[in-house]
Amino acid sequence: MRYAIFGDIHANLEALETVLYDASQAGCTEFVCMGDIVGYNANPVECLNKVRDMGCPVVKGNHDEEAIQDTSLEGLNPLAKRAMEWTRAQLNEVDRQWLGDLKFVRQVRDFTVVHATLDTPGGWTYVTNKFDAMASFSYQFTQLCFYGHTHTPKIYTKADRVEEYDGLSVVMEDGVKYFVNCGSVGQPRDGDWRSSYAIYDDEARQIEIRRLEYDIATAQQKIIDAGLPEMLAHRLALGK
Ligand code: ZN
């Protein structure tokens, strides 16, 4: 079977629809969401409805958690604060309940999915190097795990030691574990504005990260029209 693993959608409906269409065209029949459906961009409710209606496994991201709380946003920078206030105001009680019920970690068939890290799933720290990856590998009990949160696609491997894999497509080998960042559907930050997600083929034992152009102009215009900070529209084009 072919699985599409996608997340860090961040309320970008144009990007989400593009990814889901591409995944279907590529023969994916199973879908798994690694969290952060909402936050930053202009279509949180539409994205939430789309993912919920798919009925696929979903794990909770930090923005999903933040969006359903009524805690103070004083610690955030003004840009993030404004975006989160706006997002909170869009969600109804049913949406909040659904987001609140999401788990931090899920096992799907032979692989695991988490938003940020396996060592402290609700702590929202970032895996940015192989030492961070090492901590997650200690809690990885399947050969393969998908994660996100940094908005940067990356593959780490662990055999005798943890290595950063050179490339974004790999055929899995026996005796090696894989910790794979799918990148971000709706707000990539690796300098490439195109949407990112992963396909896992469990028969070919292959993992592939795909990048896709989407209708960024529409997504940007929606951000402006919603009265969200313009910087959020600009950064989409920068891939930051
Ligand atoms: Zn995110």
With a cut of 80, say whether residue 47 has pLDDT above it.
yes
User: Over the chain, what is the mean pLDDT?
Assistant: 96
CA of 151 to the centre of ligand 1 (A): 6
**If you ran DSSP here, which 8-state letter would residue 74 be given?**
T
Which residues have a beta carbon within 5 Å of ligand 1, which is an ion? 8, 36
As a whole number, mean pLDDT of residues 100-106 equals 98
CA of 61 to the centre of ligand 1 (A): 7
CA of 211 to the centre of ligand 1 (A): 17
CA of 29 to the centre of ligand 1 (A): 25
Instruction: Say what the pLDDT of residue 196 is.
Output: 98
With a cut of 80, say whether residue 76 has pLDDT above it.
no
| Local structure of 51: helix, strand or coil | helix
CA of 39 to the centre of ligand 1 (A): 8
Tell me how many degrees the CA angle 154-204-129 measures, rounded to the nearest 5.
Answer: 15
What does the pLDDT look like over 162-190, one tens digit per residue?
Answer: 999 999 999 999 999 999 999 999 999 99
Go through the chain and tell me how many residues it has: 240
Whether the CA torsion 130, 131, 133, 134 is positive or negative: it is positive
CA of 175 to the centre of ligand 1 (A): 31
What does the pLDDT look like over 119-132, one tens digit per residue?
Answer: 999 999 999 999 99
Contacts within 8 Å (CB) and 24+ apart, 100-105: 100/68, 102/35, 102/58, 102/59, 102/60, 102/64, 103/59, 103/60, 104/59, 104/60, 105/59
CA of 182 to the centre of ligand 1 (A): 11
With a cut of 90, say whether residue 142 has pLDDT above it.
yes
**Looking at 77-81, 105-109, 170-174, which range is the least confident one?**
77-81
Where does the pLDDT of residue 74 fall: very low under 50, low under 70, confident under 90, or very high at 90 and above? confident
State pTM to two decimals.
0.96
With a cut of 80, say whether residue 75 has pLDDT above it.
no
> Which residues, in sequence order, are CB contacts of 123 under 8 Å at separation 6+?
116, 117
The domain locations on the chain are: 2-238
As a whole number, mean pLDDT of residues 139-166 equals 98
Among 3.40.50.1110, 3.60.21.10, 1.20.210.10, 3.40.50.720, name the CATH number for the domain at 2-238. 3.60.21.10
Q: Which two three-digit tokens encode residue 214? A: 């989407």
CA of 114 to the centre of ligand 1 (A): 12
